[in-house]
Structure formats: C-alpha cells, structure tokens
Amino acid sequence: MTRDLAELQRNLTELVRTGACASDDAWLADVARSTGLLVVRECVAAWRELILRRTCPQTAARLEARGEFRAAVARLLRRECPMYFRELALAFLAEAVAHDDPVVAEAAAYERGEIVRAVLAA
C-alpha cells in the first residue's frame, strides 16, 4: 500500500489524467476501476472544453467543424495541464498553430497573439 502522501497524490493525478498509474497499490487499482474516477475524468474534460471554447472560440470552432476538437482536448489532458485559463489556452493554441489546416493554424496564431497582448497590457 502507498504510504507516502506525495506519491499517493502523484498517482491519483496520473489516474485522473490518463486513467492508469504505475503503482501496484490495491487501493489505487480499485480507484482505477471505479465509476467515480470515470466521472471525475469526464468532469475535468468538460471543464477544460468549456474553458477552451470560451478562451479560444475561433480555434475551437474550426477544430469542432473538422471533428477534431475533442481529440485535441484529450491530447492536452494527457499532459500535465496548466491550472490557469490563459496558460491552458496557450498550451492548446501551441499545438493548434502547427495544424495542417491553415485556417485552424491562423485562428490559433491570432488568438495566441490576443492572449499575449492581454497579458502584456495587464
């Protein structure tokens, strides 16, 4: 059983982020199979989607039109995500500016510039 609180927190974070963790702890294995974890993961994804739709509306809409928005959010969630809206949006847009569709890439570049300008103006 995991006794170290910091290790337990890291493992729980990994479970929320990816749905799995490397620990052989029986309690963590139960958590990994639980409906509660699924609900938490869905809530985290829904909040991140909402944040990105509101913070990056043009990029989100263009990715949605291509049927790629949820996959882009899922890729972002598998990494360690920033806690703050702007940093989360910038991480999302960093991937989108390299998109093979120039309309998506241009929308992302524009929105990234707007966020950076807002930060600099503050």
Tens of pLDDT, residues 34-60: 999 999 989 988 998 999 999 999 999
Does some domain include residue 51? Answer: yes
Per the CB < 8 A criterion, the answer to whether 92 and 56 are in contact is yes
Closest CA to 18 of 32, 28, 3: 32
What is the distance between the alpha carbons of residues 87 and 97, in angstroms, rounded to a whole number? 15
- Do 67 and 110 reside in the same domain of the chain? yes
Does some domain include residue 57? Answer: yes
- Do 28 and 52 reside in the same domain of the chain? no
- Is the pLDDT at 16 greater than 90? The verdict is no
- Do 105 and 65 reside in the same domain of the chain? yes
- Do 103 and 62 reside in the same domain of the chain? yes
- Do 24 and 82 reside in the same domain of the chain? no
- Do 56 and 98 reside in the same domain of the chain? yes
Domain region containing 101: 47-121
Does some domain include residue 40? Answer: no
* Residue with token string 């524009």: 110
Does some domain include residue 38? Answer: no
pLDDT in tens, 61-75: 999 999 999 999 988
Which residue type, as a one-letter code, is found at position 33? R
Does some domain include residue 71? Answer: yes
CA distances from 69 to 32, 59, 78, 97, 119 (A): 26, 9, 15, 14, 25
- Do 73 and 109 reside in the same domain of the chain? yes
- Is the pLDDT at 93 greater than 90? The verdict is yes
- Do 52 and 103 reside in the same domain of the chain? yes
Does some domain include residue 42? Answer: no
Q: How many domains does the chain have?
A: 2
CA distances from 20 to 92, 103, 110 (A): 23, 35, 36
